[in-house]
Amino acid sequence: MSRQHTRAANAVGRRKMRRGWDAFREGPDPRGADGATKCFHNNQYIVLYVPAIETALGPVERLMIRRGNSSTDVPWAHKQRIKDELLGEDRVAVEWFPSRDKLVDNHNWYHLWVFEPGFVMPFGLV
């Protein structure tokens, strides 16, 4: 697939994603749920924001994401868009899959850990 064709396909995908997606609004206080200090919501998602914690890789903020009215999966492209809209397109984020002994899966939330601007992941696809 040519680079030009890939860009065109990505643009079509972005246009499809925009339909039916309201802008995020800051919502009710999350009352410190899992360290969260802000809550954002739109017609599809609820996102809790957890301020930066210091890690060996530098400060990392967390976004906790779930569907607003169902417990269905959150597609990768939606997680990317949520990260871009709330914290910026220039930010690198990871979704962590822990070892079985550290797994906590009692709520249907997806967690993105977002690094500070300028952070470069020491590996990648490109």
Detail the DSSP E strand segments found in 3-109.
25-26, 38-41, 45-55, 58-67, 93-94
CA 53 – CA 95 distance, rounded (Å): 16
Instruction: Go through the domains of the chain in sequence order and give each one's CATH number.
Output: 23-115 (2.60.40)
Question: What pLDDT is recorded for position 12?
Answer: 44
Cβ neighbours of residue 53 under 8 Å, at least 6 residues apart?
Answer: 59, 60, 62
Cβ neighbours of residue 32 under 8 Å, at least 6 residues apart?
Answer: none
CA distances 104 to 84, 96, 109, Å, are: 26, 12, 10
Question: What pLDDT is recorded for position 83?
Answer: 98
Question: What pLDDT is recorded for position 16?
Answer: 44
The model's pTM: 0.79
End-to-end CA distance of the chain: 16
Q: What is the mean pLDDT of each successive set of 10 residues along the chain, which is 126 residues long?
A: 51 52 88 86 94 95 90 92 97 92 82 95 83
